[in-house]
Amino acid sequence: MIHPASLLLTAGFLHLAFSNGVDQLFWVYRMQPLAIMGPDNSGGDCPAECDCPPTFPVAMYCNNRGMIQMPYIPSRMKYIYLQHNLITTVSDEAFKNGTNLVWVMLHENQITNIGKRAFASLLNLDSLYLSGNNLTEVPSNLPNSLRDLRLNHNKIDKVSPNAFEGMENLTTLLLNHNTIKDMGSTLKSLKSLTLLDVSQNQLKNVPGGLPAMLHQLYLGSNSIDAIPGNFFSHFSNMQYVRLSHNALTNKGIPPNTFNVSGLVELDLSFNKLERIPTVSTSLEHLYLQANQIKEFSLSSFCSVVDVLNFSKLKILRLEGNEITHKDVPSDSALCLRLASVIAL
Ligand SMILES: *[C@@H]1O[C@H](CO)[C@@H](O)[C@H](O)[C@H]1NC(C)=O
Ligand SMILES: *[C@@H]1O[C@H](CO)[C@@H](O)[C@H](O)[C@H]1NC(C)=O
Ligand SMILES: *[C@@H]1O[C@H](CO)[C@@H](O)[C@H](O)[C@H]1NC(C)=O
Ligand SMILES: *[C@@H]1O[C@H](CO)[C@@H](O)[C@H](O)[C@H]1NC(C)=O
Ligand SMILES: *[C@@H]1O[C@H](CO)[C@@H](O)[C@H](O)[C@H]1NC(C)=O
């Protein structure tokens, strides 16, 4: 979805893209347009507190103005920017005129109340950003047309079983930084989902019914102590898996769980592992720092060490465990010949 405003970028979200490590430019954040200089409302009917530039008459800029209420929305609008305000309520009527809306940016407000049918008539809605509000639940009757739904940094503690039902095109779902204890199988209908972030919640289990198209799965900073058997066998594209800051033990990880080709990055740092789990030779980044690992088992990386078959590992982090350089066997170089960082 490219429109002229997307060419004017600010780095508002970029720090998120880098804060969690490498290779994360897959997080294609939609940047916020630069503030338009001075009000210019010659693009047509426009609420007094917003700007509707004539060069881009289907967009309405109302961000960063201390607004406490939703403005009215002229029906021609496709893109509305309402982020960084003090809006607390989105009523059932708020989007009555908004049947053409494609993007609705409402992040960083104080939204506590959303009418049960507030978004129901937005049949063309592609992206809805509600991050950084005070929501305690996933809004009801969200449009099935959504592709990108951001609900991170709220106070959501429960997700109803049908919260995402019918969203067959949803590819990005951010629920990180909430207080969700259990996801049930609520994600199972999201057959296009490629990025799921449920980090920084209170999950005790890996969510059930995870969609097969997932490419990035972020579950860090929860209380997960085990991975279900054959967990990765039903994903065809999984590449990035983050499980740092959980309660994983070796007992909770069935033997070949991570020995699956396709994985590029696996973050198991800040858990309770005593041994290095077996990983596939195709893995490139493995984070194991701050566990209780007591031995360096080369067989975790290469079951047969020979000149043709070696690990593709580039980064292996092992600091904050119970091993030192002396524990690394001398023939490791054959297997881990690309691993440039082995921090001990
Ligand atoms: C709908 O649009 C009309 C005409 O632009 C406007 O007068 C009215 O206030 C709008 N209603 C809402 C709820 O935005
Ligand atoms: C939203 O949450 C913040 C932080 O917890 C709080 O300061 C604020 O008063 C809340 N706003 C509303 C409208 O509940
Ligand atoms: C999903 O996307 C396809 C292709 O763009 C479209 O035909 C279909 O109507 C969309 N589904 C929903 C529920 O919007
Ligand atoms: C890892 O998986 C490969 C391919 O399926 C298999 O050949 C190898 O024996 C497994 N490694 C271990 C240590 O089980
Ligand atoms: C390397 O060895 C593993 C088992 O350790 C095997 O599954 C894989 O096919 C081998 N790869 C090559 C290129 O020989």
Residue with CA nearest ligand 1 atom 3 = 74
User: How far away, in angstroms, is 134 Cα from ligand 2 center?
Assistant: 6
Number of Cβ within 10 Å of residue 7's Cβ equals 9
Answer whether residue 32 shows pLDDT above 60: no
Beta-strand ranges (E) seen in 31-125 are 59-61, 79-81, 89-90, 103-105, 113-114
Of the candidates 190, 108, 193, 183, the residue with the CA atom closest to the CA atom of residue 153 = 108
Answer whether residue 48 shows pLDDT above 80: yes
- Quick one: average pLDDT of 64-91? 97
Q: What is the pLDDT of residue 23?
A: 30
Q: What is the CB < 6 Å shell around ligand 4? A: 256, 259, 278, 299, 303
Contacts of 139 (CB under 8 A, 6+ apart): 114, 118, 119, 130
User: How far away, in angstroms, is 72 Cα from ligand 3 center?
Assistant: 28
User: How far away, in angstroms, is 199 Cα from ligand 2 center?
Assistant: 22
Per-residue pLDDT tens digits for 93-130: 999 989 999 999 999 999 999 999 999 999 999 999 99
CA angle, residues 10, 14, 15, in degrees to nearest 5: 130
Region of 123 on the Ramachandran plot (φ > 0 left; ψ -120 to 50 alpha; else beta): alpha
Q: What is the pLDDT of residue 88?
A: 98
Half-sphere exposure of 73 (CA within 13 A, CB side): 29
**284 residue type, one letter:** E
Q: What is the pLDDT of residue 334?
A: 86
Answer whether residue 5 shows pLDDT above 60: no
Q: What is the CB < 6 Å shell around ligand 1? A: 45, 72-75, 93, 96-97
For 240, the 3-state DSSP assignment is strand
User: How far away, in angstroms, is 341 Cα from ligand 2 center?
Assistant: 44
Beta-strand ranges (E) seen in 169-322 are 172-174, 195-197, 216-218, 240-242, 265-267, 285-287, 315-317
pTM metric for this prediction? 0.86
Across the chain, what does the average pLDDT equal? 87
pLDDT class for 305, splitting at 50, 70, 90? Answer: low
Does 304 sit in the ligand 5 pocket, CB within 6 Å? Answer: yes
- Quick one: average pLDDT of 61-77? 96
Answer whether residue 40 shows pLDDT above 80: no
**153 residue type, one letter:** H
Distance CA 320, CA 166 (A): 45
- Quick one: average pLDDT of 161-174? 97
Residue with CA nearest ligand 5 atom 2 = 309
Burial environment of residue 234 by CB neighbours within 10 A (0 to 12, 13 to 18, 19 or more): exposed
Answer whether residue 57 shows pLDDT above 80: yes
Residue with CA nearest ligand 3 atom 14 = 145
**Among 20-34, 273-287, 310-324, the least confident range:** 20-34
Domain ranges of the chain: 39-150
The single-letter DSSP state of residue 332 is H
Answer whether residue 342 shows pLDDT above 80: no
Using the atom order of ligand 2, give the atom closest to the CA of residue 88.
Answer: 13
**Spelled out in words, what is the top-level CATH class assigned to the domain 39-150?**
alpha beta
**Among 3-17, 132-146, 231-245, 247-261, the least confident range:** 3-17
Q: Indicate the top mutation candidate among 232, 256, 305, 306 to test ligand 4's pocket, ranked by most ligand atoms within 8 A of CB.
A: 256
pLDDT class for 37, splitting at 50, 70, 90? Answer: very low
- Main-chain dihedrals φ then ψ at residue 251, nearest 5 degrees: -60, -35
